[in-house]
Amino acid sequence: MPKIKEPVSIVANGDYPSHNIPLNILKTSKTIVCCDGAINSLEQNNISASFIVGDMDSIEKTLLKKYSSICIHKSNQNENDLRKALKWLNKHNIDSVSILAATGKREDHSIFNILSMLEIEWTKDLCFYTDHGVITLVKGKSILNSHFDQDVSIFFIDISIRFTTEGLKYEIDNQTLSKLYMGSLNKSIGSKITIKLSHGKALIFQSYKK
């Protein structure tokens, strides 16, 4: 088995990236953890996986044989492949992980891949890179790089969280948001945005430069 070296990325089984930012993250990753059948698209794009995690029910037979030495079988039916990969990585001594190809294809996969990050035990830094932007898991106080007029949305589930922001067009000042969509469709006004949560976790979507 190969060692886990940083930077680490996970490739899920959604649409393979086409934007330069996720493609560059994939190319510069020293460890690529592949979710089950996502190996098919990695293979098509000549990218080598370091590990394949899942119940191996969606890998082509020839690839399953070829990569048997790096397969990590996890057959728990209550977890999807992305959460299995994260749980497995959580035990290792790494600081952060980038998640790629987690959206596109079936909407239930896309939505649950993202929102379930608010409900799993995860102790490291985590970002999703899609073809449209980056989604960052935040706790406590976070300062994120930004640019003027960047689209910014906040995803949360726990409506008791009090948010405080700096650097947004529609600032939030130690307030709860009673509806989930109240965190959406904001804009950055500068090169940094600061988000402070009273407790719990949220996800911040930031669009790429156009």
Sign of CA dihedral 29, 138, 147, 12: positive
Using rule CB under 8 A, residue 182 touches its own copies? yes
The alpha carbon dihedral of 66, 32, 13, 208 has a sign of: negative
Spatial separation of the C-alpha atoms in residues 188 and 100, rounded to whole Å: 24
Question: CB-wise, 87 or 94, nearer to its own copies?
Answer: 87
Q: Which is nearer to its own copies, 12 or 50 (CB)?
A: 12
Size of the site for its own copies (CB under 8 A): 35
Binding mask 53-92 for its own copies (x = CB under 8 A): ------------------------xx-x--x---------
Asked if residue 181 binds its own copies (CB under 8 A), the reply is yes
Query: What three-state secondary structure class fits 180?
Result: helix
- Say which residues have a Cβ less than 8 Å from residue 161's Cβ, sequence separation at least 6: 176, 177, 197, 198, 199, 200, 202
Site for its own copies in 138-177 (CB under 8 A): 151, 153, 155, 157, 170
| Stretch in the footprint of its own copies (CB under 8 A) among 52-60, 86-94, 103-111, 142-150 | 103-111
Q: H or E element: which one contains 86?
A: helix 81-90
- CA–CA separation, 180 vs 156, rounded Å? 7
Binding site for its own copies (CB under 8 A): 77-78, 80, 83, 103-108, 110-112, 114-116, 118-119, 130, 132-133, 135, 151, 153, 155, 157, 170, 179-182, 184-185, 205, 207
